[in-house]
Chains A and B, each alone.
Chain A
Amino acid sequence: MSAEIRKILLIAAAGLVLAAGLIVLAANMIARSWARSEERAEALPPVEAKTMAAKTRQLESRMKSLLPRGTYLMIDTAENRLRVIRDGKELLAAIVSCGSGDILQDPSGERKWIFDTPRGEFTVSSKLVNPTWIKPDWAFYEEGEDLPKNFSERIDNDTLGDYALGIGSGYFIHGTLYTRMLGRNVTHGCVRVGDEDLKKVYQTVPMGAKVYIY
């Protein structure tokens, strides 16, 4: 490569670096001006400061009143863990199974089920011993079966285990025959618990207790 070409390439490279530097500098200045335009914090006059202090205290008190009291459940769908908490102390930690997130459509394509465990705050609205599962339509479609003509064909006394706690909208915390799947996301939305842990949950958690699923 001749000296002339090398010189031109060097100048071009220097020019590119300089241009890049100027672009970055200009962008920085613009970005900082955007940031500064939002950040003007002004001191409050004394009267407003007093009002704000009172309002803040009121809000803090209201926030405190929203916290759960007594016994409540926390269900972590990511880690498949259930915890029973009473007065801030953990009474029980259990490995569970939560929703798979799978999607099922009925043969006509008109209905769709997404097998998620719902998230948010719920309330224990029922407690059942030896619960009976009334199999919904998806349980038949999933197996490739037709819907039964007799209602009695929907009754299943074994699948839900010894106890069940209802949290509304057809979702339950219940037992399972498939204990080897505990710790995995395999259910149709309900929370499955092993027999021993389920008994403790049933005995410890009262009706009306809050359930936090996340």
Chain B
Amino acid sequence: MRIRRLLGFIAGGALLAANAAGQDAAAPSPRKAARLEQEYTLARTPATYFVFDFEAGKVFLKARGLVLKEWPVFQVKTWGRRGGVMTCPLLKKTAYNAPQRKDVTPGKAEDETDTKAKPKNDDLDILELVKMPVHFTLELPGDIRMNVRLRKSGFARILDGAGRLFSRGIGRSVKTIVRGIGKRPFTDIEIVFLEENAAKNIYWSFFEGQKCILYWPE
């Protein structure tokens, strides 16, 4: 009898402990729940959208929750205000020497009927992935700017670092102080990729007006 009672207490205690542990494990993060809710709002439409997951270190292009493409991020640095989880449209993308659309001249369209063999990579005057920039800026609402760049190596990296020391170190610091006095915070996000293809793909795929989710780690 005593043994049965003892076993009963042990079993009951184990059940309570398991229940408590289960509850802790299931306890959702408000931030993760907010991300899911915001993504569901975007996924309900037929449009594609981006997810900049700074916690996982990845950028996703998605539609209906389906991952169409993903790119690993080498490094993310955020300066200034950050919002946990936020959904916003791309307002503008800018790049030095950005490729432009071509105006077709009537009567002078590319001669596709020419069956003469040409080298595969002959330089057609068309918008293509290979011509997309690898350094560019994405402007989002709320004074958020995402600067996308490639990780440089060797001497180029030293030069780049020196240049950025001035622009990011002094230039941005002065801007921060002026904005701080004016109570107008801003956000600068620097996203660094290792591969050219990742940056070019994002420039190609992310068009003005398209929505994205920014997700910062806790």
Contact = CB atoms under 8 A, between A and B. Distances in A.
A26 interface: yes
A79 B172 CA distance: 37
A185 interface: yes
A212 B176 contact: no
A212 B28 contact: no
Contacts of B44: 66
Contact of A52 (B33, B39, B177, B201): B33
B106 A184 contact: no
B93 to A, nearest CB: 15
A78 B126 CA distance: 12
B89 interface: no
Contacts of A105: 103
B37 interface: yes
B126 A56 contact: no
Task: Please classify how large the interface on chain A is, using the bins under 10, 10 to 19, 20 to 34, 35 or more.
Answer: 35 or more
B63 A143 contact: no
A187 to B, nearest CB: 10
Contact of B172 (A27, A53, A185): A27
B101 A101 contact: yes
Interface in A70-91: 74, 76-79
B110 A49 contact: no
Contact of B106 (A34, A107, A120, A183): A107
B3 interface: no
B204 A101 contact: no
Contacts of B48: 119-121, 212, 214
A3 interface: no
B26 A44 contact: no
A180 B117 contact: yes
Given A56-B28, A100-B126, A121-B46, A63 B176 contact: no
Nearest to B181: A30
A138 to B, nearest CB: 9
A41 B64 contact: no
B126 A185 contact: yes
B190 to A, nearest CB: 13
6 nearest A-B residue pairs (beta carbon) = A144-B107, A27-B173, A121-B46, A27-B176, A30-B180, A101-B127
